[in-house]
Each structure stands twice: as C-alpha cells, then as structure tokens.
Amino acid sequence: MRRLLRRLLRIDRWKPLEARPDATAALHLKYLTFRDLSTSNDEILEVIAEIERRLEGGPTFGMAFVRSSAVTAASHAYRMIQKLDALSNRRYPELSARFSEIQQAVESILDRGPMREGGPYVVPLAKVTVGDLDHVGGKSANLGELRNRAGLPVPEGFAVTTGACIDFFAANQLQGEIRALLQGLDVQDLESVSATAAAIREAIVAAALPPALEDAILAGYARLAGSVGSEPRVALRSSALGEDGELSFAGQYLSLLNVPADEIVAAYKEVVAGLYTPRAIAYRAIRGIPDEDVPMGVACLVMVDAVASGVACSVDPNRPELPRMVINGSWGLGIGTVEGGVSPDAWTVAKDGGYTILTRSAGSKETSVEALARGGVAAVPVPPERRPSLCLTDPQVAELAGLVLAAESHFGAPQEVEWALDRAGRLVLLQTRPVHTSSGRGEREAAPAEVEGHPRLLTGVSAAAGCASGPVFLSSGPEDIAGFPDGAVLVARKSNPQYVRVMDRAAAIVADIGAATGHMASLAREFGLPAVLDTHAATATLAAGAVITVDGDRGAIYAGRVESLLAGASERRPAGMSGTPVHAVLAEVAKFVVTLNLTDPKSSEFTAASCRTFHDIARFAHEKAFEEMFRVSDRVSYGELRSLPLRARLPFRVHIIDLGGGLRRRPGAASLRPEDVSSVPMRALLAGMTNPELRWWQPKPLSVGGVASVTTQAIFTPFVEYGERRLGDRSYAIVAESYCNFSSRIGYHFAAVDCFCGDSPSRNYISFRFKGGAADEARRVNRCVLLERILRELDFQVERQGDLVNARIRKYDLDATLARLDQLGRLIVATRQLDMRMGQRASVDWYVRAFMEGNYLFDPEFGREGGDRDRERNGPDSC
C-alpha cells in the first residue's frame, strides 16, 4: 500500500512537459485522429441538414444533388470508421460490415436505371394501344389508341420502343458518360446547361446503333413502305416515357419532319438525343424527374403533306367550365402554331351536338412551314393575298371538332390534339394528350380600361389564368434569357416552349405572338404562370425593368403593381419538389443517411451492430471516439495529461484533457477547479459558462400576470433536466495553452466550440457548431434562428441550415477573441435551458435583446422594480 502510494506520488510529481515527449506525442497523434473524425462528423451533419431542408421544400434539386449528398455522407462515414479503428485498435469490426450494407442499400436506390423488359425494338402502330405506354412512350401509345381503339384517322407508322433506346445507350456506355456530365451541372447556369446539353447530344449522335436495332428500324420502314405502296417521307417524333401524360413535356423534345428513307437512322439518333436539349434538361430538373426515368421512344409516321395544320383543344383551356372548344390553325405544317411563331386562325366551337361555330378570327399567318423536296422543312412567307383567308372551311372546322370530341370521349378527359389537313382534304390527328387547364375564377368580365390609376397598357389572348406583377424582362428569343432575374415578367416577341428554362423563376409571361393552344401556353398553365399572348405590341410597348401587372384571367396588362388584382389572384403553385420522383428518391436515400436510430448512449441498442444509417454510424463513432480519447488519457495517466472532471457550477459535467500547458497541476487532486485551467481560451469559455447572472439553477420565472410573461410561457419551457443527473451526458474539453475544443451533447442536441487564440491575430479563430435538440422540427429551427441572431450580434459569420448552426470568427486579436468566447459560454448555458416553442418569429427579437442585456433567464420582468428575484419561488405549488 505504501509502495503504491509512493509510486503514485512519484508519477504525480510535477515534471516539465518536455520530459514526457513520448506520451505527449502519442496523445497528440490520437488527438489528430480524433480531430479528423470530428471533421467528418461535421461534414455528415451538414449533409443531413441539407437533405432535411430539401425534403421540407427548400431549393429545387435533381439527381445530382441526391447522388452527391449520398457520396459525401458515405465517404465521411467511412472515414469516421477508419479513424475510430485507429483510435480503438479496431474495437468495432462490426461497423465496417454495417457500412457495406448501408452503402449497398443506397447504391441500389441510386443505380435503379430504367427497366429493360425485353421485347421487340419496333412495333407497327396498328398493334399499339395505351397498354403499351411503358414500351413505346406517350406519343406512340396515344396515337395507337386513337387509331386502333377509337377508330380515328392517324398516319400510318411504327413505334421504336423505349427498350431500343436503353439498349442503344447501354451498347455505347452512354448512361455513365451522361451521368458524369450532368453531375457537374448547375441547372440555374443557363450557359453551362447549353454547353453540357450540346456535349451530351454530340456523344449520342456520334454513337453507333447496335446492328440489331438498326436492322429493326430499317425493316420497320420497309414494312411501312410496303403497306402504303411507296417510299414515303416520314416524321420522327419523340415519344418519351411520361411525355403527353400527366406532365406534358409540351414541346420539350424533338420532332423531325419530312425525313427521307436514307436518313432515318441518323434522325432516330437525333430525336433520342433530344432528351438532352437544354429545355428538356431544365424541364426535368424543375419537375423533379430523374433523367434515368425517361428513356426515349420514337414514333415514326408517314409524313402528312399538310395544306394546313394546328392544334385543337376539346375545352377552352382558360375557361374549362364553358361548353366550348378551341381550334387554332395556320397554313402549312403545324410547327408554327404549336411553337408559337405564328399568329394563327382561331375558332371557338360550341359543344352543343351541332358544332356551332361561335367565333372565327383570321390570324396574320405571315409564314408557313413547308416540306422541301430534298428532305426537311423550311419556313416560307405566305403570299399576302392568302394571309387573311381562314385555313379551314366551316364544314372542315365542324368535322375536326367531331374528331376532337371523339378523342375526348374515348380518353374520358379533355384532350389537346395536333391536326393536319392533307392535299386530298382529309383531316388526320398527329397526336393527343390531356389538356392542362387553368383553374378559372368563375365568371370573368372584360378587362377594365383602367384600375385605380393604373392605365391598361395592352390586351391579348388569355393563355393561362392568374394574376402577377413584376419588372419587365424583354426577350427577342430564348437564347437571350441568360440574365433572367427572379420574379420578372417575361415579355417575348414570340411564344416558345424553350422559355421553360425560366418558368420556375418568372412571375408571368407576355408575348407579341402566340396562341393559347401552343406549347408555351400549355407549359405556363402547368407551372401556374399567368400568361397573356398575342398582344402584338408587348415588346414594342413595354419598357425593360418597368413594373407591370399581368392579368392572365382577362388578358390584360397594366402599368405598375395593381394590388386590387393581385389580392384576388389564385396562389401560384409552389415549385417545391414534393411529390416529384426525385423527391421520392431523396426520401428513400434519406432513410439510410438521415434517420437516427442510435439516440441514447446508455441504451443496450447503442452498438455497432445496431447502426442502420450513415447518421447512426457517425453518432456511434463520435461517441466511441470520445471514449477512446479518455481511455487513452486514463491509460497514460501522467499527471499533467490525465483527464479530470471539472468541479464548477455548470449544468453539465465537463471532463478536461490536457495536451500541454492547458491545466495547472495540483498534486493528488482527483478533480479540477476552474482556477486550475491555464488554457487561455478554455478559461474564457468557462468564465462565460459560470457567469453568476446565468442562474440556471433557479426555477424559471413563472407567469404572474403581464402580457410579456404569458408570451414567455408560450414560447419557452425549461429544457430537459440537468445533465448532472444523466450519466453519460458528459461534456468534454481538450485543451492546450492557446487552444480548446469543447463539446457537449444531450440526446440529439450537440454543441461544439473549437478555438485557437494567441498573440498573433492572423492565427486566431473560434468555430462554433450547434445541432438539433430534443424538440420537434419547428421548435428546433426556431431555437437555431435565435442562436443565429445572437451570434451575428456577437460578430460571428453564421450559416444556418435548418437546425444546424455554424458560426466562426477569424483573425480577431486576443482580447476580442476572448470576449467572444465568454459570450459563447453564456450562450451555451443560457440556451441549454430553453426549449423554443413554435411562436411568432417576431418574438425572437425580444430574446436576442434579452440575451444581449444579460437577461439570461429570459425573464419578462427583468430590470423592473422589485425584479425577478422576488418571484424565484413562485412556482405553481405556491400559487
């Protein structure tokens, strides 16, 4: 016994640090490893916070975000395992096995490509119905249905299946290349989207079709030629999965018209490459559709040599409640009408059984698109004498109306149909899809000439309902929208579906030329954007930057911001990602990344084997790393290096480990007093945490009347019981003379301070991190909003993602840095006691002020006569 005592005394005898460099070095190495592990823990928490934010309706995202989040979380979880292995001498081998399982689960979600179900590459249209949707894509399926089940006239042709596209990509390893190119893409950066889209299309067009596919397409064409008795020119039209269904993809993909026999294979590749036009990429990004989910089918149809063509809607898209339909048309091939480049003829037809024509108006129809003898098409001027005449006769309008209504009744829903009139006077349907209608606001009166001092600047065709205001952005074409600001009104010369690229940011759309039945109008309705088209003079009348109000309900544009119109306007559909396929994929990935199952270190479930997510692994590894740190220090046990509990008036226990110069030794002492701490930053932090004004040991002031106190009760309730009674809820500090790393955790709640401070300001920094807390999402976030505000008051640079707060200051001189540490110490203790309830955001101001005034109990009576102290015992029992 005596010998033991002597030995202890000998060990405890004070020795300068240099005398034990081996021990210091070993500990130092452990510390570096621990530090790496901590850094990775921070990274994972950041990824988790960002995923939570996006799932709850933060910024839009695509698969690239999902992938990069998964990869970042996985790589740092892996690194934490590596570092914990190093710290613990591989004490938890089970962790690696768990990691592999989680990795596999996540990869299987991410690598879910399109299913290739076998089947032929080519199917004659005569054999296609909507049941083949998954194999042939939307357009072919709808056309086959029209032809074979509804008995309506459509061109002869065949469908190239989506499976053909999948095999084409697979044979050339295109999917990986495309994925890599898209991963590096910021969808908001319109220029780089264009460049990337071009690179992807180039790669697709340059790739060779598998011989079996090429043979199948050529054989399909030979059969078609046999059945029509000539070698017809054909139209190759996109027929992507999802196209022409619930999501319109209106005009997002490619059609190639008047293709000669020897160019079919090249044209096929070009249409498939149309998956990656900038507008299609943007459309999918905004709509949350993973690129992998849209293999492209292609419809190959006998070219209709059209005299006139256009679009017809079986309802008025803006007044779906009225019993009438709308027909647009112009000379030549239909591209002009659907792409919006031509002012078309327009009819409204009563759905009264007799196809009564309610209105007719002749469009200006300056150009028409015509087939060229050598293949392809070109826009040519329409002879002036032909422009004013309507492109359909009344009987043709009635016949077309009959076809459109037949399509509507067959599909049982309003349809938007592309039609053509051939040289023999026959009407054929080129495609059909469900109409996107605006939800109208009931009866609409004519637009008034002026609303309370806001002159009406223009009128036009109401193409999408709603009312919005914003500054004018003038565009002569979709190529000049690079600088489009959020919330602006797009004012375009011609309507064009490529404008989809700004539809998530625009307030409304106005165009000189364009029809309510065009693709852009359809997209505007899909995005809930008010649109007024065919104004003739918008680009000439409206000045760039001028604020206007667009009344999409009545087709009018007013100067300034017309509050009376905006007040009644239907809420714009939020562009949130909820309900989209990409959102669903992220939610699925989150189950293996974000979910935290290991919450209680004392639970028997807190084991490596129980880790089911990357978050679990991080939580487990972080906890065990602390244990290892303190295990090593216990083992080393050279007086100045031992971990010792701190005896101080704190709402949690702190154990301190010294890396050198951070603690003053008191021989034989089993615990530390605050004055034993010689680490300069730790002293400052402790001074803050033990500030007598904190009085965390006192009961909370309870309401004794007064409005403010009621508010307090509603917003704050005491936080969980104090850590002293909760074993395992230790806080740790690793200190050196000029350094401290303090971290504490209770349940979900995690706070950490890392600081270096010395005489050279350039090296000084404080970094503070706070995450979570046991409360519902809204309360956690609110508490973090409060923290964020207070930290800013203290001159920290703060980033907050949901309930994760990151704050740092750098390069302040010693005194300024220490002053911030002191405040930080107070903040950590003061906020530990608080659990912020959902409340008015405005009241955060009050709490910020209270903290800055030193009212750490957030007592509404603070500073008043008679003060809070009188009521300290006024608990519910004594009332």
Instruction: Rank residues 630 and 748 by Cβ distance to another protein and give the closer one.
Output: 630
Q: How crowded is the C-beta side of 354, counted as CA atoms within 13 Å?
A: 3
- Using CB under 8 A as the binding rule, whether residue 21 contacts another protein is answered as yes
Residues 711-740 that bind another protein (CB under 8 A): 736, 738-739
Residue from 29, 115, 358, 540 touching another protein (CB under 8 A): that is 29
Among 16, 118, 184, 229, which residue interacts with another protein (rule: CB under 8 A)?
A: 184
What single-letter amino acid sits at 127? K
Among 9, 32, 727, 852, indicate the residue that binds another protein (CB under 8 A).
32
Question: 519 an active-site residue?
Answer: yes
Tokens 């530990």 belong to 832
Residue 493 or 808 having the CB closest to another protein = 808
| Nearest residue (CB) to another protein, 184 versus 866 | 184
Paired residues of 677 in beta bridges: 663
**Binding-site member from 24, 318, 462, 535 for another protein (CB under 8 A):** 24
Amino acid identity, residue 768? Answer: F
**CA nearest neighbour of 141 among 155, 120, 161:** 161
Q: Among the options 76, 135, 454, 519, which is catalytic?
A: 519
DSSP helix, strand, coil percent of the chain (3-state; round to 5) = 45, 20, 35
Contact letters for another protein, residues 657-696 (x by CB under 8 A): --x-------------------------------------
In this structure, what token pair is assigned to residue 769?
Answer: 């991190």
Among the listed residues 61, 78, 276, 796, the single contact to another protein using CB under 8 A: 78
From 28-36, 768-776, 790-798, 858-866, give the range in contact with another protein by CB under 8 A. Answer: 28-36
Q: Rounded CA gap, 498 and 502, in Å? A: 9
Site string for another protein, 614-653 (x = CB under 8 A): ----------------------------------------
Q: Based on CB atoms, which residue is closest to another protein, 81 or 694?
A: 81
Residue of the chain from 55, 68, 88, 575 that contacts another protein (CB under 8 A)? 68
Q: CB nearer to another protein: give 153 or 761.
A: 761
**Min separation Cβ 737 and another protein, Å:** 9
Q: How far is the CB of 270 from another protein (least distance, A)?
A: 25
Residue closest to 730 by CA, chosen among 833, 638, 651, 838: 651
> CA 312 to CA 417: how far, in whole Å?
5
Least Å from the CB of residue 810 to another protein: 9
Q: Of 750-809, which residues contact another protein (CB under 8 A)?
A: 754, 756, 760, 762-765
Structure token digits, residue 94: 């089970």
Q: What is the longest distance spanned by two Cα atoms in the chain?
A: 121
N- to C-terminal Cα distance for the chain? 58
31 binds another protein (CB under 8 A): yes
Minimum CB distance to another protein, residue 583 (Å): 18
The interface region with another protein, picked from 47-55, 70-78, 149-157, 262-270 by CB under 8 A, is: 70-78
Q: How far apart are CA 8 and CA 638, in angstroms?
A: 10
Tell me if 82 contacts another protein by CB under 8 A.
Answer: yes
| CA 577/CA 556 separation, integer angstroms | 31
Which of 5, 11, 15, 22 touches another protein by CB under 8 A? 22
Residue 67 near another protein by CB under 8 A: yes
Q: Which residue, 123 or 798, has its beta carbon nearer to another protein? A: 798
Work out how close the CB of 660 gets to another protein at its nearest, in angstroms, rounded to a whole number.
9
DSSP symbol at 446: P
Residues within window 485-504 making contact with another protein, judged by CB under 8 A: none
Q: How far apart are CA 531 and CA 516, in angstroms?
A: 9
**Strand, helix or coil for residue 820:** helix
Picking from 528, 529, 533, 530, the residue whose alpha carbon sits closest to that of residue 518 is 533
Please choose, out of 63-71, 118-126, 268-276, 420-428, the segment that lies near another protein by the rule CB under 8 A: 63-71
75 binds another protein per the rule CB under 8 A? yes
Amino acid at 152: L
**At closest approach, how far in Å is the CB of 736 from another protein?**
5
Q: Work out how close the CB of 635 gets to another protein at its nearest, in angstroms, rounded to a whole number.
A: 18
Residue 360 touches another protein, criterion: CB under 8 A? no
Which one, 71 or 814, has the nearer CB to another protein?
Answer: 71
Residue from 8, 71, 566, 596 binding another protein (CB under 8 A)? 71
SS3 784: helix
Count of residues in contact with another protein, rule CB under 8 A? 44
Q: Is 748 in the site for another protein (CB under 8 A)?
A: no
Nearest distance from C-beta of residue 78 to another protein, angstroms: 5
Q: Is 853 in the site for another protein (CB under 8 A)?
A: no
The residue from 148, 183, 541, 709 that contacts another protein (CB under 8 A) is 183
**DSSP letter assigned to residue 475:** E
Shortest spacing between CB 789 and another protein, in angstroms: 23
Q: Which is nearer to another protein, 100 or 409 (CB)?
A: 100
Contact between residue 287 and residue 580 where contact means Cβ atoms under 8 Å apart = yes
Give me the sign of the Cα torsion angle 201, 203, 207, 209: negative
Q: Which residues pair with 327 in a beta bridge?
A: 312, 347
C-beta of residue 598 within 8 angstroms of C-beta of residue 619: yes
How many residues are recorded in the chain? Answer: 879
Among residues 182 and 538, whose Cβ is nearest to another protein?
182
**Min separation Cβ 805 and another protein, Å:** 17
Alpha-carbon torsion 453, 457, 463, 469, what sign? Answer: negative
Shortest spacing between CB 100 and another protein, in angstroms:
9
Pairing mode, strands 556-559 and 489-494: unpaired
> Side chain identity at 732, as an amino acid letter?
Y
**Could you tell me the CA-to-CA distances from 313 to 291, 463, 787 in Å, in that order?**
30, 12, 55
Tokens of 284: 């999918």
**What x/- string results for residues 162 through 181 when contact with another protein is judged by CB under 8 A?**
-----------------xxx
740: buried, middle or exposed (CB in 10 Å: 19+, 13-18, 0-12)?
buried
Tokens 């608990």 -> residue: 875
68 or 610: CB nearest another protein? 68
Between strands 357-361 and 306-313, the pairing is: unpaired
What is the rounded CA–CA span in Å between residue 772 and residue 775? Answer: 8
The set of residues, in sequence order, having a beta carbon less than 8 Å from that of 484 and lying 6+ positions away, is 190, 473, 475, 490, 502, 505, 506
Binding flags for another protein, 84-103, as an x/- string (CB under 8 A)? -------------------x
Task: Give 64 or 598: the residue with its C-beta nearer to another protein.
Answer: 64
If you ran DSSP here, which 8-state letter would residue 672 be given?
Answer: B
Q: How far apart are CA 522 and CA 502, in angstroms?
A: 15
The answer to the question of residue 35 lying near another protein (CB under 8 A) is: yes
Give me the least distance between CB of 79 and another protein, in Å please: 5
**Residue closest to 245 by CA, chosen among 60, 63, 415, 465:** 415
CB of 575 to another protein, least distance (A): 22
Position among 56, 94, 101, 107 found at the interface with another protein (CB under 8 A): 107
Angle separating helix axes 63-88 and 94-110, nearest 10 degrees: 170
Contact residues: another protein, CB under 8 A: 21-22, 24-25, 28-29, 31-32, 35-36, 39, 64, 67-68, 70-72, 74-75, 78-79, 82, 103, 106-107, 110, 179-181, 183-186, 659, 736, 738-739, 754, 756, 760, 762-765
Q: What residues are annotated to the active site?
A: 519
